[in-house]
Amino acid sequence: MPFSTCTVTNTRDFGTAASNVVLNVRNLDLFSPVTVLVKIFASVDSDTFYTAYVSTFAVPADDYEVRTFFIAGNVAYEVQLSVTSVSTPNALLSVYGIDEFGNLVTDQGFAQAELSTIPLISPNR
């Protein structure tokens, strides 16, 4: 089942802007790896979005993976995620915006329960 952060406003007008997005994946399955597809769409003008990142990686059984993506200079972004496995995927996901000093950005944190489910990952723009 794919997930999305929805569009996140990333400006200093309303607080601190994120310079990076951190994706955390915890594979709870004791036997099977999971494959994670992440797409990050970003915008420098809140009008036109482009595909900033497309990444696929595996997380071994009973393991963690943390990935960081640079998004400074974008006034908005969206993170889309999909997790697959040979069995039913059993992974926990979270996405956080962090500033240039590594601090969490208020209102740019998404635990799995706060991610929106989407029917499919959007095509590249």
Is the Cα dihedral 109, 113, 118, 120 positive or negative? Answer: positive
Q: CB–CB of 92/112 below 8 Å?
A: yes
pTM, whole model, 2 decimals? 0.93
Q: How many structural domains is the chain composed of?
A: 1
Residue 122 within a domain = no
Residue 124 within a domain = no
User: Minimal CA–CA distance to 19: which of 75, 80, 65?
Assistant: 75
Residue 89 within a domain = yes
CATH code where residue 19 lies: 2.60.290
Per-residue pLDDT of the chain (125 residues; tens, 9 = 90+): 899 999 999 987 656 799 999 999 999 999 999 999 999 999 999 889 999 999 999 999 999 999 999 999 999 999 999 999 988 889 999 999 999 999 999 889 999 999 999 999 999 76
- The single-letter DSSP state of residue 101 is T
Residue 24 within a domain = yes
- Domain carrying residue 18: 3-117
Residue 35 within a domain = yes
Question: CA–CA separation, 97 vs 106, rounded Å?
Answer: 8
